Amino acid sequence: MNIDLRHLRCFLAVAEEGGFTAAGRRLHLTQPTLTRNIRTLEESLGVRLFERSTRRTELTDKGKILREAVTPLLRQLDSTLGDLQKGEKLRIGFSWGLPEGLSRLAARFGEETGVGVEFIRCDTPQAGLDTGEAHLALLRSAPLPKGLRGVLLFEESRIAAVPASWQLAERTELDWAELAGLPLVVNTVSGTTFPDMWPDGSRPVVGAECRNFDEWLEKVAVGLGVGTAPVSAARRYMHPGVRLVPLTGAPTVPAYLAHPSHGAHPQAARFADQTWRAADELQHA
């Protein structure tokens, strides 16, 4: 018989609500869709489950029998499915600088789905997706690496990071082109600034390399070079040896929430989509 859970849930909602209109509101279905599901169920069983009139919808004797049988079965199924979700975790990897407001969206997601969200720092090129530690990752790179898909949450302007001991730190503003004449501190794993972003023939030399944001900050502080970061770094990271100077003419930094194209956690795409829809909350928290 061509019967599935959708048909049985529609049947039970109409039986409990006493009508199609109230049942449609409960299930967030249009009345034609609900009616079609009930008709399919009746045709598959070969019996009438409801007596319909212009004023009321009542269960037939066969409908009452089905309701008595289906009610405990669906309740037990829902309870079992809920128990399976308990303790399930969705791990989100990041290398540095989680957007403001993301933790609030994660908490809301957990309340709605029963799936908890954990944030884990992973200093790898794909913030834990490449090692399997994370189900989703915040990546600041464009385009996304092959094998990943995701949503663009926002694009952020940059700020320059210069050693506080340099005279350059007294400037109120720097231009992107000026940085080409200065040594650059490059985070080779999770950085957003590399020499090839400048035109050929006017690229900065590499003053130092590192593998994470903390090392990057320390190398700038001791005067090995300059760097750039999203402007949110000015709010999230402070270092007495580093001055953050407004930067003009610089390319923006995209922020993606990414997951594997194949074999992703069942809730990964759902969380990414919900976060994308609420992206304004991330920048205006």
pLDDT per residue rounded down to tens, the chain (285 residues) = 678 999 999 999 999 999 999 999 999 999 999 999 999 999 999 999 999 877 788 999 999 999 999 999 999 988 887 777 677 899 999 999 888 899 999 999 998 888 899 999 999 999 999 999 999 999 998 789 999 999 999 999 999 999 999 999 999 999 999 999 999 999 999 999 999 999 999 999 999 999 999 999 999 999 999 999 999 887 788 899 999 999 999 999 999 999 999 999 999 999 999 999 998 888 654
Q: Which residue in 263, 283, 30 sits closest to 149, CA to CA? A: 263
- Domains of the chain in start order, with CATH, are 5-85 (1.10.10.10), 89-154+254-283 (3.40.190.10), 158-251 (3.40.190.10)
Nearest CA-CA partner of 247 in 186, 130, 159: 159
Nearest to 18 by CA among 7, 29, 6, 26: 26
> Which residues 6+ apart lie within 8 Å of 125 measured at CB?
145, 189, 190
pLDDT of residue 113: 86
Single pTM value for the model: 0.72
pLDDT, residue 141, reads 83
Instruction: Tell me whether residue 283 is exposed, middle or buried, using C-beta atoms within 10 angstroms of its C-beta: 0 to 12, 13 to 18, 19 or more.
Output: middle
Q: What are phi and psi of 94, to 5 degrees?
A: -155, 155
| Alpha carbons 195 and 186: distance in angstroms, whole number | 8
* Three-state SS at 242: strand
- Gyration radius (Cα) of the chain, Å: 28
Cis peptide before 143 (omega within 30 of 0): yes
- pLDDT value, residue 283: 64
Among 126, 123, 153, smallest CA distance to 137 is for 126
CA of residue 81 relative to chain centroid, distance: 24
